[in-house]
Protein backbone atom coordinates (compact mmCIF):
# COMPACT_ATOMS: atom_id res chain seq x y z
CA UNK A 1 0.00 0.00 0.00
CA UNK A 2 1.28 3.49 -0.93
CA UNK A 3 1.73 6.05 1.86
CA UNK A 4 0.09 8.95 0.04
CA UNK A 5 1.91 11.61 2.11
CA UNK A 6 5.24 10.51 0.62
CA UNK A 7 4.02 10.74 -2.98
CA UNK A 8 5.15 14.02 -4.57
CA UNK A 9 2.53 16.73 -4.94
CA UNK A 10 1.52 17.50 -8.50
CA UNK A 11 -0.26 20.56 -9.78
CA UNK A 12 -1.94 20.72 -13.17
CA UNK A 13 -4.52 22.75 -15.01
CA UNK A 14 -7.83 20.91 -15.06
CA UNK A 15 -7.75 21.14 -18.86
CA UNK A 16 -4.51 19.10 -18.85
CA UNK A 17 -5.93 16.25 -16.82
CA UNK A 18 -7.16 13.28 -18.84
CA UNK A 19 -10.68 13.52 -17.46
CA UNK A 20 -11.42 15.64 -14.39
CA UNK A 21 -13.86 13.51 -12.41
CA UNK A 22 -16.97 14.29 -10.41
CA UNK A 23 -15.10 14.56 -7.09
CA UNK A 24 -12.98 17.40 -8.52
CA UNK A 25 -16.07 19.17 -9.86
CA UNK A 26 -17.69 18.82 -6.41
CA UNK A 27 -14.58 20.27 -4.74
CA UNK A 28 -14.49 23.26 -7.09
CA UNK A 29 -18.19 24.06 -6.89
CA UNK A 30 -18.12 23.81 -3.09
CA UNK A 31 -16.33 27.18 -3.09
CA UNK A 32 -18.20 30.48 -3.30
CA UNK A 33 -19.94 29.77 0.01
CA UNK A 34 -20.17 33.55 0.49
CA UNK A 35 -22.72 33.46 -2.36
CA UNK A 36 -24.91 30.85 -0.66
CA UNK A 37 -27.68 33.47 -0.41
CA UNK A 38 -27.74 33.41 -4.22
CA UNK A 39 -26.43 29.99 -5.26
CA UNK A 40 -27.75 27.84 -2.44
CA UNK A 41 -25.94 25.14 -0.51
CA UNK A 42 -23.06 22.97 -1.79
CA UNK A 43 -25.35 20.48 -3.52
CA UNK A 44 -27.22 23.31 -5.25
CA UNK A 45 -23.99 25.03 -6.34
CA UNK A 46 -22.89 21.73 -7.86
CA UNK A 47 -26.12 21.48 -9.85
CA UNK A 48 -25.83 25.07 -11.06
CA UNK A 49 -22.14 25.19 -11.92
CA UNK A 50 -20.69 21.71 -12.48
CA UNK A 51 -21.75 21.55 -16.11
CA UNK A 52 -20.11 24.89 -16.87
CA UNK A 53 -16.58 24.63 -15.46
CA UNK A 54 -13.82 26.23 -17.52
CA UNK A 55 -11.08 23.72 -16.76
CA UNK A 56 -8.37 26.02 -18.12
CA UNK A 57 -9.07 28.35 -15.19
CA UNK A 58 -8.58 25.79 -12.43
CA UNK A 59 -5.34 24.41 -11.03
CA UNK A 60 -5.71 21.08 -9.25
CA UNK A 61 -3.27 19.83 -6.60
CA UNK A 62 -3.16 16.08 -6.30
CA UNK A 63 -1.10 13.16 -5.08
CA UNK A 64 -1.38 9.76 -6.67
CA UNK A 65 -4.50 10.93 -8.54
CA UNK A 66 -6.21 11.99 -5.28
CA UNK A 67 -7.33 15.64 -5.55
CA UNK A 68 -6.26 17.62 -2.47
CA UNK A 69 -7.02 21.21 -3.35
CA UNK A 70 -7.53 23.74 -6.09
CA UNK A 71 -6.91 27.34 -7.03
CA UNK A 72 -9.29 28.98 -9.49
CA UNK A 73 -8.49 32.17 -11.35
CA UNK A 74 -9.94 34.67 -13.73
CA UNK A 75 -8.46 36.87 -16.41
CA UNK A 76 -9.56 38.25 -19.75
CA UNK A 77 -13.15 37.98 -18.49
CA UNK A 78 -12.98 34.22 -18.23
CA UNK A 79 -13.18 32.59 -14.83
CA UNK A 80 -13.76 29.02 -13.66
CA UNK A 81 -17.51 29.07 -14.35
CA UNK A 82 -19.61 30.15 -17.33
CA UNK A 83 -23.10 28.90 -16.52
CA UNK A 84 -26.04 29.69 -18.74
CA UNK A 85 -29.41 30.71 -17.32
CA UNK A 86 -30.90 27.23 -17.86
CA UNK A 87 -29.76 25.56 -14.62
CA UNK A 88 -30.89 28.62 -12.60
CA UNK A 89 -34.38 28.54 -14.15
CA UNK A 90 -34.65 24.80 -13.56
CA UNK A 91 -33.48 25.14 -9.97
CA UNK A 92 -35.42 28.22 -8.82
CA UNK A 93 -38.23 28.66 -11.34
CA UNK A 94 -38.47 31.26 -14.10
CA UNK A 95 -38.70 34.54 -12.22
CA UNK A 96 -36.49 33.78 -9.23
CA UNK A 97 -34.09 31.86 -11.43
CA UNK A 98 -33.75 34.77 -13.86
CA UNK A 99 -33.21 37.22 -11.00
CA UNK A 100 -30.57 35.04 -9.34
CA UNK A 101 -28.83 34.48 -12.65
CA UNK A 102 -28.75 38.21 -13.32
CA UNK A 103 -27.31 38.95 -9.88
CA UNK A 104 -24.70 36.21 -10.31
CA UNK A 105 -23.71 37.68 -13.69
CA UNK A 106 -23.36 41.17 -12.12
CA UNK A 107 -21.26 39.83 -9.25
CA UNK A 108 -19.05 37.87 -11.64
CA UNK A 109 -18.83 40.85 -13.96
CA UNK A 110 -17.47 43.15 -11.28
CA UNK A 111 -14.21 41.18 -11.38
CA UNK A 112 -13.23 42.77 -14.73
CA UNK A 113 -11.69 45.40 -12.51
CA UNK A 114 -8.96 43.16 -11.19
CA UNK A 115 -6.95 41.99 -14.21
CA UNK A 116 -5.66 38.65 -12.95
CA UNK A 117 -7.88 37.62 -10.07
CA UNK A 118 -7.55 34.72 -7.63
CA UNK A 119 -11.13 33.46 -7.71
CA UNK A 120 -10.85 30.66 -5.17
CA UNK A 121 -8.34 28.67 -3.13
CA UNK A 122 -9.14 25.56 -1.15
CA UNK A 123 -7.27 22.63 0.38
CA UNK A 124 -9.22 19.69 1.78
CA UNK A 125 -9.13 19.51 5.56
CA UNK A 126 -6.93 16.47 6.09
CA UNK A 127 -4.26 17.81 3.67
CA UNK A 128 -3.78 21.23 5.27
CA UNK A 129 -0.52 22.53 6.80
CA UNK A 130 1.65 20.72 4.28
CA UNK A 131 2.36 23.69 2.03
CA UNK A 132 -0.24 22.75 -0.61
CA UNK A 133 -1.80 26.22 -0.70
CA UNK A 134 1.66 27.75 -1.11
CA UNK A 135 2.40 25.42 -4.00
CA UNK A 136 -0.94 26.27 -5.61
CA UNK A 137 -0.18 29.97 -5.21
CA UNK A 138 3.25 29.54 -6.85
CA UNK A 139 1.44 27.91 -9.79
CA UNK A 140 -1.05 30.82 -9.82
CA UNK A 141 1.84 33.30 -10.13
CA UNK A 142 3.15 31.29 -13.10
CA UNK A 143 -0.27 31.36 -14.75
CA UNK A 144 -0.51 35.12 -14.27
CA UNK A 145 2.95 35.71 -15.75
CA UNK A 146 2.19 33.45 -18.72
CA UNK A 147 -1.01 35.41 -19.33
CA UNK A 148 1.02 38.65 -19.40
CA UNK A 149 -0.03 40.08 -16.04
CA UNK A 150 2.32 41.76 -13.61
CA UNK A 151 0.17 41.42 -10.51
CA UNK A 152 -2.39 39.18 -8.85
CA UNK A 153 -5.42 40.51 -7.00
CA UNK A 154 -7.74 38.79 -4.56
CA UNK A 155 -10.48 39.34 -2.04
CA UNK A 156 -10.39 37.62 1.34
CA UNK A 157 -13.01 37.69 4.05
CA UNK A 158 -12.02 39.89 6.97
CA UNK A 159 -12.71 37.04 9.40
CA UNK A 160 -10.55 34.51 7.50
CA UNK A 161 -7.40 35.00 9.56
CA UNK A 162 -5.67 31.86 8.28
CA UNK A 163 -5.99 32.85 4.63
CA UNK A 164 -5.05 36.46 5.36
CA UNK A 165 -1.86 35.31 7.11
CA UNK A 166 -1.01 33.04 4.18
CA UNK A 167 -1.44 35.85 1.66
CA UNK A 168 0.62 38.26 3.74
CA UNK A 169 3.42 35.70 3.99
CA UNK A 170 3.28 35.34 0.21
CA UNK A 171 3.84 39.07 -0.25
CA UNK A 172 0.27 40.30 -0.75
CA UNK A 173 -0.55 43.64 0.77
CA UNK A 174 -3.83 45.25 1.51
CA UNK A 175 -5.06 47.82 -0.96
CA UNK A 176 -7.69 50.48 -0.66
CA UNK A 177 -11.21 49.14 -1.15
CA UNK A 178 -12.09 49.24 -4.83
CA UNK A 179 -14.98 51.27 -6.26
CA UNK A 180 -16.84 47.99 -6.84
CA UNK A 181 -17.27 47.44 -3.11
CA UNK A 182 -20.63 49.19 -3.30
CA UNK A 183 -22.07 45.78 -4.20
CA UNK A 184 -21.42 44.74 -0.62
CA UNK A 185 -23.76 47.46 0.59
CA UNK A 186 -26.61 46.17 -1.53
CA UNK A 187 -26.19 42.41 -1.08
CA UNK A 188 -25.53 40.27 2.01
CA UNK A 189 -21.82 39.80 1.27
CA UNK A 190 -19.42 39.14 4.14
CA UNK A 191 -16.90 41.95 4.66
CA UNK A 192 -13.81 41.46 2.49
CA UNK A 193 -10.33 42.91 2.22
CA UNK A 194 -8.74 43.56 -1.17
CA UNK A 195 -5.14 42.42 -1.52
CA UNK A 196 -2.62 42.60 -4.31
CA UNK A 197 0.84 41.26 -5.06
CA UNK A 198 3.24 42.46 -7.69
CA UNK A 199 4.94 39.81 -9.79
CA UNK A 200 7.77 42.08 -10.90
CA UNK A 201 9.25 42.91 -7.48
CA UNK A 202 9.97 40.42 -4.74
CA UNK A 203 8.10 40.97 -1.43
Ligand X SMILES: CC(C)(COP(=O)(O)OP(=O)(O)OC[C@H]1O[C@@H](n2cnc3c(N)ncnc32)[C@H](O)[C@@H]1OP(=O)(O)O)[C@@H](O)C(=O)NCCC(=O)NCCS
**In the complex, which residues of this chain contact ligand X (CB under 6 A)?**
121-123, 128-134, 156, 160, 162-163, 165-166
Q: How far is the CB of 165 from ligand X (least distance, A)?
A: 5
**Please, which residue, 92 or 123, has the CB nearer to ligand X?**
123
For ligand X, give the closer residue by CB, 101 or 117: 117
Q: Of 96 and 128, which CB lies nearer to ligand X in the complex structure?
A: 128
Nearer to ligand X, 131 or 188 (CB): 131
**Cβ neighbours of 107 (radius 10 Å):** 18
Measured from the CB of residue 86, what is the shortest distance to ligand X in angstroms?
28
For residue 13, the minimal CB distance to ligand X (Å) is 18
Chain-centroid distance of CA 104 in Å reads 15
Phi and psi for 164 in degrees, rounded to 5? -60, -40
CB-wise, 72 or 103, nearer to ligand X?
Answer: 72
What is the rounded distance in angstroms from the CA atom of residue 129 to the CA atom of residue 85?
39
C-alpha 105/C-alpha 44 separation (Å) is: 17
Question: Shortest approach of ligand X to residue 170 CB, angstroms?
Answer: 9
Smallest distance, Å, CB 54 to ligand X? 19
Alpha helices in 1-131 (DSSP H): 22-29, 36-39, 42-49, 86-92, 94-109
Which of 166, 152, 76, 80 is CA-nearest to residue 123?
Answer: 166
Amino acid sequence: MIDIDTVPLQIALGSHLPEPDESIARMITSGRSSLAFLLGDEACRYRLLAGAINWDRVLIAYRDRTPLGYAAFKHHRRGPFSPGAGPFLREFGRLRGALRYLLFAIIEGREWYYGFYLYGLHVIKHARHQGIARSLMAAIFDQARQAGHDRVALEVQVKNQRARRLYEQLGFSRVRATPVNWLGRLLPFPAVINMRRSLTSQP
